[in-house]
Chains A and B, each alone.
Chain A
Amino acid sequence: MSENIIEMNKINKWYDDFHVLKDVDLNVKKGEKIVICGPSGSGKSTMIRCINRLEEFQQGSLMVDGININNNIKNIEAVRKDVGMVFQHFNLFPHLTILENLTLAPTRVKRVPKEEAELMAMEYLDLVRIGDQAHKFPGQLSGGQKQRVAIARSLCMRPKVLLFDEPTSALDPEMVKEVLDVMVKLAKEGITMLCVTHEMGFAREVADRVLFMDEGRIVEENNPNDFFDNPKNERTKNFLSQIIH
């Protein structure tokens, strides 16, 4: 087995005749933290959503933890057990309590006994510092709390890879930090992370590599300090000058 947990090979994807992903190559080692940035509409979400097969692609190949991502339903099921995802808009299940949100997948998909699942859920809720809210409903929490619950929910499946798609973009500014703090804590525990975000502080603190995407391509890739301090590509420079006012 190779030490790469994700191997993307010349992935191409079209929406009708719109070419969203163009020859995307990306290898991610176990435990690596990748931050992806780039202008809106450049294909960042589409790329990471290929990894857990929320999106199909038409050309190229993608291996996740040794599983070939293709149309095979068994493979898709298997990979989704290994890959967790945190969304911009949290997507908690509003009709279930926080605890039920967390235990649903482990009990249904992995058939973990309920008591065990609840113990594990409480552990993760404590990790994201929200244990006292377990019996509330998502509608009763603030945005930052919801996102921390969403992170705990994906951790309950004990994933090998965590995908974040702009996890702090929908939050009020004062709540961004509480979510980033949790993400930093997770990063330090060694899980593989791919994170679409424009939070430079976070990128500098945890990222092993920062990728810059534009018009469906990865146009630049570097360690965070070099990436932010001397970007090589014109478009990267342009983009960075826009987000650093």
Chain B
Amino acid sequence: MNKYFQDEKIRAQIFQFLTLFMILGIFGYLFHNTQTNLEKQNIATGFGFLKFEAGFDIGESMIEYWSDDTYKKAIFVGVLNTLKVAIIGNFLAVFFGVLIGLSHLSQNWLLRKISKFYIETIRNIPLLLQLFFWYAVFTENLPGVKEAMELLPNIFLNNRGLYFPIPVDTKSFSFIFIALVISIIGFFFLEKVRVKKEILEGKSFSFFEKLNYLIFLLPVLTWFILGSPSEINYPSLSGFNFSGGYRFSPEFSALVLGLVIYTSAFNAEITRAGISSIDKGQWEAASALGISKSDSLKIIILPQALRVMLPPLTSQILNLTKNSSLAVAIGYPDFVSITNTTMNQTGQAIECVFIIMVIYLSLSILTSFVMNQFAKRFQIVER
């Protein structure tokens, strides 16, 4: 027996087994306890309430929703709203983060100081305060409907939100949009093939030889096939409000702006740290071989830096997604605030908290999965 217990592997297994046993025990106890308490108070358990009528309105929704729809649909509206913030927000936060991180390392003195100032101040102001600030700017400081600012032709900003034109035939345009996305992805793929071919043949093709641009005919073709819809829905002042076009509400705009400004400061710092963590010798070796600064950054430094940057960047992507639940403070209907309302109305606290946990967990796992796939490409072989 003693001999077995001294075996490293067997010992590790025994400890793992004990840990598992304890965790199961604790959860079993908690579950049993809750169950009996709820029974005593006559509170129904289970997710049956999701089929009941929600009975509350939601300020903005990407799908059609009425107050007599079910709780399930209400929560789904909230999930879509959260996804909208998370996807647009993270895309912008990573983009601006990397840009600001790179400027922090640039040779340009002014750019360096500005980025440093940005990172230092923004990181040190609590996010909630920034959200209140932007919400106040959007609702209090912006001009009223009649005096709306026209930022660009036909794009209006006032205290009711940001308005911009969209095509009337949204269905056709969603197909065109998909075609555009496909052609962008296809273009990058073809460009890769072209660069490979150039390297193989050792010459650079002229602009006209770059037939890859032809792939952008795909969305144009789609547009023709769909009967070339061209009618545009412009926002315009009618009566006391704007009608037409698409509107980002002040709540959405303030939330996205606040989250992007806050998170991009962290992303910038991650970029800066990632790039500075690469040994100076890598830049020097590249320069000594005659490789230009931008090529060095692209081919030698960034691929190595990304390896260091991806884990903290993933954290920030998750952070932004989770921080979007501060939406409740400025009245944006994200799924946490809608589930909260549901919880208040139905009293199904445990189920609602469970729903929130499951949805966040799925979002986190999905994000980690995608980022891990990405990270695999940047692993370095060591012996």
Contact of A111 among B203, B382, B383 (CB under 8 A): B203
Residues of chain A within 8 A (CB-CB) of B383 are 139-140
Q: What's the nearest-Cβ distance from chain B to residue A47, in Å?
A: 15
A77→B289 CA distance, assembly (Å): 9
Give A54's nearest chain B residue, CB to CB: B284
Residues of chain B within 8 A (CB-CB) of A114 are 196, 199-200, 202
A84→B201 CA distance, assembly (Å): 25
Q: What's the nearest-Cβ distance from chain A to residue B7, in Å?
A: 32
A95 within 8 Å of B (CB atoms) = yes
Given that A91-B282, A139-B383 are contacting pairs, would A109 and B289 also be in contact in the complex, using a CB cutoff of 8 Å?
yes
Interface string of B185-198 (1 = CB under 8 A from A): 00000000000101
Asked if B285 and A87 make an inter-chain contact with CB atoms under 8 angstroms apart, the answer reads yes
Interface segment out of the listed B89-97, B295-303, B334-342, B364-372: B295-303
* Chain A 47-94 interface residues, beta-carbon cutoff 8 Å to B: 52, 54, 77, 80-81, 83-85, 87, 89, 91-94
A153→B378 CA distance, assembly (Å): 22
Q: What's the nearest-Cβ distance from chain A to residue B142, in Å?
A: 47
Given that A93-B282, A140-B383 are contacting pairs, would A109 and B290 also be in contact in the complex, using a CB cutoff of 8 Å?
yes
* Chain A 112-171 interface residues, beta-carbon cutoff 8 Å to B: 112-117, 136-137, 139-140, 150, 153-154, 157
Asked if A95 and B378 make an inter-chain contact with CB atoms under 8 angstroms apart, the answer reads yes
A91→B285 CA distance, assembly (Å): 6
Please indicate which of the listed interface residues B198, B202, B303 has the most CB atoms of chain A within 10 Å of its own CB.
B202
A188 within 8 Å of B (CB atoms) = no
Give A92's nearest chain B residue, CB to CB: B285
Given that A94-B304, A153-B289 are contacting pairs, would A113 and B201 also be in contact in the complex, using a CB cutoff of 8 Å?
yes
Asked if B202 and A77 make an inter-chain contact with CB atoms under 8 angstroms apart, the answer reads no
A245 within 8 Å of B (CB atoms) = no
Asked if B290 and A91 make an inter-chain contact with CB atoms under 8 angstroms apart, the answer reads no
Given that A93-B300, A95-B378 are contacting pairs, would A157 and B290 also be in contact in the complex, using a CB cutoff of 8 Å?
yes
A104 within 8 Å of B (CB atoms) = yes
Contact of B202 among A81, A84, A94, A116 (CB under 8 A): A116
Residues of chain A within 8 A (CB-CB) of B196 are 114
B62 within 8 Å of A (CB atoms) = no
Asked if A139 and B380 make an inter-chain contact with CB atoms under 8 angstroms apart, the answer reads yes
Q: What's the nearest-Cβ distance from chain B to residue A142, in Å?
A: 9
Residues of chain A within 8 A (CB-CB) of B284 are 54, 87, 91
A118→B284 CA distance, assembly (Å): 23
A107 within 8 Å of B (CB atoms) = yes
Residues of chain A within 8 A (CB-CB) of B378 are 95
Residues of chain A within 8 A (CB-CB) of B328 are none
Q: What's the nearest-Cβ distance from chain A to residue B377, in Å?
A: 10
Asked if A91 and B279 make an inter-chain contact with CB atoms under 8 angstroms apart, the answer reads yes
A238→B336 CA distance, assembly (Å): 76
Residues of chain B within 8 A (CB-CB) of A153 are 289
Asked if B381 and A111 make an inter-chain contact with CB atoms under 8 angstroms apart, the answer reads no
A93→B300 CA distance, assembly (Å): 7
Asked if B202 and A111 make an inter-chain contact with CB atoms under 8 angstroms apart, the answer reads yes
A126→B54 CA distance, assembly (Å): 76
Q: What's the nearest-Cβ distance from chain B to residue A162, in Å?
A: 11
B180 within 8 Å of A (CB atoms) = no
Asked if A140 and B281 make an inter-chain contact with CB atoms under 8 angstroms apart, the answer reads no
A139→B300 CA distance, assembly (Å): 16
Give A139's nearest chain B residue, CB to CB: B382
B16 within 8 Å of A (CB atoms) = no
A93→B291 CA distance, assembly (Å): 13
Given that A54-B287, A91-B285, A109-B291 are contacting pairs, would A140 and B202 also be in contact in the complex, using a CB cutoff of 8 Å?
no
Asked if A137 and B381 make an inter-chain contact with CB atoms under 8 angstroms apart, the answer reads yes
B288 within 8 Å of A (CB atoms) = yes
Contact of A95 among B200, B202, B303 (CB under 8 A): B303
Residues of chain A within 8 A (CB-CB) of B288 are 52, 54, 80, 83-85, 154
Q: What's the nearest-Cβ distance from chain B to residue A189, in Å?
A: 20
A74→B200 CA distance, assembly (Å): 26
A200 within 8 Å of B (CB atoms) = no
Please indicate which of the listed interface residues B285, B290, B300 has the most CB atoms of chain A within 10 Å of its own CB.
B290
Given that A87-B281, A113-B200, A113-B201 are contacting pairs, would A137 and B291 also be in contact in the complex, using a CB cutoff of 8 Å?
no
Q: List 9 A-B contacts (CB under 8 A).
A: A52-B287, A85-B288, A93-B282, A104-B291, A108-B295, A111-B204, A114-B196, A154-B288, A157-B289
Instruction: List chain A positions with a Cβ less than 8 A from chain B.
Output: 52, 54, 77, 80-81, 83-85, 87, 89, 91-95, 104-105, 107-109, 111-117, 136-137, 139-140, 150, 153-154, 157
A-B pairs, top 4 by smallest CB distance, nearest first, are A113-B202, A91-B285, A105-B289, A139-B382
